[in-house]
């Protein structure tokens, strides 16, 4: 995936798309920093992108509360660029149905609790939704 991001950066530079170029450069930079640290594990570009999308979402909320639509638009544009590199995300409704099915499967265990439910939900669906949404829906399902 990092090679695709590098190719897209070249295209953004040729097209003089500053927002895309800066966004893609930041992802490449974070990837390079992970390489320099020398982590033994495989560097997961998808998790880097998810973290960056989460930061953008938080910034958008902050800019909305402070009436900074100019900055909000920049964050939204960057978030759209980053979202292109993630697998197709499912809706909350679909995710809730999947989590209900997951709960029914794993609740037969005698040591079933909210922590186990959230952990299994994240393990199963983190590629299709963000972890905060999974956690929130798991809590809603457990509350009834």
Output the tens digit of pLDDT for each of the chain's 144 residues.
Answer: 889 999 999 999 999 999 999 999 999 998 888 877 765 566 778 888 988 988 999 999 999 999 999 999 999 999 999 989 887 888 889 988 989 888 888 877 767 888 888 888 888 888 888 888 889 998 988 887
Enclosing domain of residue 103: 92-143
Report the number of distinct structural domains present in the chain.
Answer: 2
Return the pLDDT at 75: 94
Of residues 87, 76, 78, the one with CA closest to residue 45: 87
What pLDDT was estimated at residue 10? 94
Q: What was the pLDDT predicted at 2?
A: 86
Same domain, 8 and 77: yes
HSE, side-chain direction, 13 A CA sphere, residue 41: 6
pLDDT at 1: 85
Longest dimension (CA), the chain: 59
Q: Which of 66, 118, 125, 50 is nearest to 90 (CA)?
A: 125
Q: Can you give the pLDDT at residue 41?
A: 64
Interior/surface letters 79-108, b for 16+ CB within 10 angstroms, e for the rest: bebbeebbeeebeeeebbebbeebbeeeee
Q: Are residues 62 and 79 in the same domain?
A: yes
Q: Are residues 52 and 70 in the same domain?
A: yes
**Structural element, H or E, at residue 75:** helix 69-83
Question: Looking at the structure, do residues 44 and 96 belong to the same domain, yes or no?
Answer: no
Answer yes or no: do 7 and 76 share one domain: yes
Same-domain pairing of 110 and 63:
no
CATH number of the domain where residue 78 is located: 1.10.1510.10
Q: Give helix then strand counts, H and E, for the chain.
A: 7, 0
């Amino acid at each position: 995936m990092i090679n695709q991001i590098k190719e897209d950066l070249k295209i953004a530079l040729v097209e003089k798309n500053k927002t895309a170029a800066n966004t893609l450069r930041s992802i490449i930079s974070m990837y390079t920093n992970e390489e320099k640290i020398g982590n033994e594990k495989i560097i997961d570009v998808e998790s880097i992108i998810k973290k960056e999308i989460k930061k953008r979402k938080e910034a958008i909320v902050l800019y909305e509360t402070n009436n900074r639509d100019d900055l909000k638009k920049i964050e939204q544009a960057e978030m759209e660029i980053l979202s292109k590199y993630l697998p197709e995300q499912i809706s909350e409704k679909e995710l809730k149905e999947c989590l209900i099915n997951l709960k029914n499967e794993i609740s037969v265990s005698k040591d079933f609790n909210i922590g186990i439910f959230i952990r299994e939900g994240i393990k199963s669906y983190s590629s299709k939704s963000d972890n905060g949404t999974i956690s929130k829906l798991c809590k809603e399902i457990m509350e009834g």
